Chain A
Amino acid sequence: MPGPSPLPTPETAPYWEGAAAGELRVQQCTSCTEHYFYPRPFCPRCGSDDVAWKATSGRATLVSYVINHRPLPPSDGPLVIALVQLEEGPRMMSNVVGVEPTPEQLPLGMPLRVIFEERGEYAIPVFTPAEAAR
């Protein structure tokens, strides 16, 4: 499938390895317990380098979004580009899929659940309405 692919670095490889295994991972600081994203080898809150990768629950809520209508490969129709907040706290950009891309179907605050889309050799974490994933 065309479209931009990530190019992992040594510091982000565990995130992409997790995604390939069907797991959305973020880092957690062992000192201050903060979960954080994007990947860094130290805690952005307290500065500790005692940090560990953790699997998240995959549950999130919808914080904001646009419904893109311009050509944007690999998407060939309206694409929901969304800001989501993970149950553990961090926010991330993603897509919302498996739902009609209209404002009526996408109220802010709606519960979401992670699923993974294949793109080339990578699995990309995206989100779908929580009930639809069950």
Chain B
Amino acid sequence: MTTTSMHGGGIAIVGASETTEIGSLPGISMINLHADAARNALADAGLTAKDVDGIATAGPLAHEVSHHLGITPRWLDGTMVGGCSFMLHVRHAAAAIAAGAADVVLVTHGESGRSRVGMGGRAPNPASAQGQFEAVYGAQTPYSTFTVPALHFLQERGMEREALAQVVVAQRAWAVDNPRASRRTPTTVEAVLDQPPIAWPFTKDMCCVVTDGGGALVLTSAERAADLPAGDRAVYLLGSGESAEAPMVSQMTDPGSFQAFRRASAEAMTTAGISHADVDHLMAYDAFAHLPLYMLEDLGFVGRGESRDFIAEGHTGRGGRLPMNTNGGGLSYTHTGMYGMFAIQEAVRQLRGEAFAQVPDVRTSFVQGVGMFFAAAGSLVLANRRP
């Protein structure tokens, strides 16, 4: 047995990789996107499937992925709360490793979100609360559901829809030089606002790209990480948090603030023993342009009503005091349907000094995920050295 803590740097990410390609991949089915990412991540860690004894995934069942890869698991986690599932998997894996329930955990994501190869159906259960009380109104696609509270958020802060366009412009600037990003053309607030609406107030570029791809992570104890060939590239988990609210957007406690962001991020800060000033890089899951606005405020990086100006004044861009979504985010980089894995991957790249748009001297990255349209949240504090 071990006495390692799940937080405080006792657990490390020792392997991290996306699928070899992302974008439009009609020749690869969902399960093999998991496999491609997993094999890349294991190679990155200097490990093989035979070294893995724990598996966590969302989408397919955990045992489908472990068997496909030739893993014999003694620990499985199939937590499925949408796109932030992977933040929860990292948190759960850290607890399992600290408790001695697993030694090496593989977390995988793969989704044929664009080409829909090897994917199941996506209609909600018509007998679920969501099926009975939201889908019947057309609140059944991401762009017609996740977006609904945004107008309330904007109006109660005296913001216009230009605030959504500011988010797009700031993140596009990060993607311009990133060869893996889907949208790389610089844009302006006016150009974004002038696009035809998808679901007003949202225009096309305020909605994420839709892609095929995946990613995987390998976690183990910091002690074991030190013995691996890539041990000097290990990324440590300092703190984490998770929470959930209603399974329906309409039942949010407050449409202008997501309580699960507040709870999960507060726990992550507390368990990491850090304050906002210690964070020098932020990944804020952006399926739609309103989410970074909610997150900056709900996580406490800015005060209520200050999120738009913080972005418009350049604080989240190159040279800013809180570089955010430095891969271009879901809005410009990639979004398979469950973006959380890609947010974690970019945080790991930044902490290793291997990002396309590398921020100088990143030591601590905060990763905020959201899942199932304002239903669930997961937060991670990652660092490139142990405290």
* Chain A contact residues, CB within 8 Å of chain B: 3-9, 12, 37-38, 63-70, 72, 75, 78-79, 81-83, 91-95, 103, 108, 119, 124, 126
Q: Count chain B CB atoms within 10 A of each CB in A7, A8, A67, A68 and give the residue with the most.
A: A68
Q: A12-B132, A66-B201 are in contact. Are A5 and B126 (CB under 8 A)?
A: yes
Which residues of the other chain, A, contact B199 by a CB distance below 8 angstroms?
Answer: 66-70, 81
B261 within 8 A of A: no
Q: A64-B149, A83-B152, A103-B200 are in contact. Are A8 and B250 (CB under 8 A)?
A: no
Closest CB in chain B relative to A115 CB, distance in Å = 14
Closest CB in chain A relative to B160 CB, distance in Å = 11
Q: A6-B136, A94-B137 are in contact. List 14 more A-B contacts (CB 8 A).
A: A3-B136, A5-B126, A5-B136, A6-B127, A6-B131, A6-B132, A38-B129, A38-B133, A64-B149, A66-B143, A66-B199, A67-B200, A83-B152, A108-B152
A53 to B152 CA separation, bound complex (whole angstroms): 29
Which residues of the other chain, B, contact A94 by a CB distance below 8 angstroms?
Answer: 137
| Proximity string of chain B (224-259) to chain A, C-beta cutoff 8 Å, 1 when within and 0 when not | 000000000000000000000000111100010000
B197 within 8 A of A: yes
Closest CB in chain B relative to A56 CB, distance in Å = 14
B331 within 8 A of A: no
Interface of A is mostly: strand
B141 within 8 A of A: yes
Q: Which 9 residue pairs of A and B lie closest in terms of their CB atoms, listed nearest first?
A: A64-B152, A66-B199, A7-B126, A93-B250, A67-B200, A6-B132, A7-B127, A68-B199, A93-B134
Contact count A vs B, C-beta below 8 Å: 118
Q: Count chain B CB atoms within 10 A of each CB in A5, A64, A119 and give the residue with the most.
A: A64
Closest CB in chain B relative to A39 CB, distance in Å = 8
A4 to B155 CA separation, bound complex (whole angstroms): 31
B196 within 8 A of A: yes
- Tell me if B250 and A91 are in contact (CB < 8 A): yes
Closest CB in chain A relative to B375 CB, distance in Å = 14
21 contacts between A and B (CB under 8 A): A4-B131, A7-B126, A7-B127, A8-B127, A9-B127, A38-B133, A64-B153, A66-B148, A67-B199, A67-B200, A69-B197, A70-B141, A70-B144, A79-B138, A81-B139, A82-B148, A83-B255, A91-B255, A94-B137, A108-B151, A126-B137
Q: A4-B140, A75-B138 are in contact. Are A69 and B148 (CB under 8 A)?
A: no
Closest CB in chain A relative to B304 CB, distance in Å = 17
